[in-house]
Amino acid sequence: MKIAFWSNGVDPCGVTANLAAVSVATVIRYPYRIIALENHLCQDNLGKAYMGISRAGITGEAGIHYYEGGGIESLLRRIYHGENKSGILKSYIRDIIQEHLYYIPQSRVIHNELFNYEFNHSANHLFHLLEEYADHSFIDTAGFNNLSTRTILEAADLIVVNLCQNQIYLEEFFDNHSSLISKAVFIVGKCTHQSIFNSKRISKLYNIPTELIVEIPYNEHFYNSMMNGSVVEFISRNYSCSKESTNYRFIQSIKKATGLIINSVELIHTNHKEMKTASVSDTII
């Protein structure tokens, strides 16, 4: 299943942070294989959150390595030129949590525009490779003006919309992207007790069921772990923390978001199977 983490805000609204936390929590709780990746190049990426800045990149010293070595750029280039055999993906992924969570690193040796073009051109073949290798792919998805973002949002089985606590961006989403709502769940990140646009108010203003919205509070310790590459350690260490822990509320919200996402995906999968079964039955009749 393809799960896109996306926001319509100029400020990313915690897309990368939420994906990083949820991906780790998912493989702790559920028996799935997950591949995480981005459709945009940036320094503060998932690789930095998972592994730290020294290990996140594959190559960066010379553009020639884009054509020769690892990184999602090289993978896309090979797909772009017609190499799409099942085994091609294996040499480009890194184990984050062995046999459960994987990441396709960035080399960051080309411009985002070229990367975006080749991602969009190769997207369908890439999705096929991802589905062969893992149960779910979590895609950190850039803003809507990105060409490949539109392709991803259209192809995604589920969209995790990261809502900004800003009325301008909220209005923009519900005015211009309402077609996405039917296959979306919502995260409101960096919440505090003083947040004006909490889940209850968003639900009331925009007629979204509260059970489809999860608030994730700001947690300084977690964001520090994002910066130093210890997200896996932080989530794993605090996953079963007590109510007395300063991280308890944050961890509970991540668990809630994880449950919402996985339950939604499993329901979609069940519906797809039932539709296929019904289609086969109709053909036989």
Kindly state the average pLDDT of the residues 96-107: 96
CATH number at residue 231: 3.40.50.300
Question: 35 and 130 in contact (C-beta within 8 Å)?
Answer: yes
Kindly state the average pLDDT of the residues 55-70: 48
Question: 71 in a domain, yes or no?
Answer: yes
Domain that holds residue 64: 2-260
- What residues have CB less than 8 Å from 73, skipping those under 6 apart? 41, 66, 106, 107, 109, 110, 115, 118
Per-residue pLDDT band at 119 (split at 50, 70, 90)? very high
Question: 220 in a domain, yes or no?
Answer: yes
Name which of 8-12, 121-125, 186-190 the model is least confident about: 8-12
More confident residue, 56 or 103: 103
Question: 283 in a domain, yes or no?
Answer: no
Question: 271 in a domain, yes or no?
Answer: no
Per-residue pLDDT band at 69 (split at 50, 70, 90)? low
Q: What domain count does the chain have?
A: 1
pLDDT of residue 45: 95
Burial pattern 171-188, b for ≥16 Cβ within 10 A else e, equals: eebbeebeebbeebbbbb
Give pLDDT tens digits for 186-202. 999 888 877 889 999 99
Give pLDDT tens digits for 196-223. 899 999 999 999 999 999 999 999 999 9
For residues 73 and 225, what is the distance between their CA atoms, to the nearest angstrom?
26
Burial label for 165, CB within 10 Å (0-12, 13-18, 19+), is buried
Question: 231 in a domain, yes or no?
Answer: yes
Return mean pLDDT, the chain.
91
Question: 152 in a domain, yes or no?
Answer: yes
Q: pTM (2 decimals)?
A: 0.92
Question: 202 and 177 in contact (C-beta within 8 Å)?
Answer: no
Give pLDDT tens digits for 169-186. 999 999 999 999 999 999
Question: 285 in a domain, yes or no?
Answer: no
Helix axes 220-228, 15-29, angle to 10 degrees: 90
pLDDT of residue 275: 73
Question: 282 in a domain, yes or no?
Answer: no
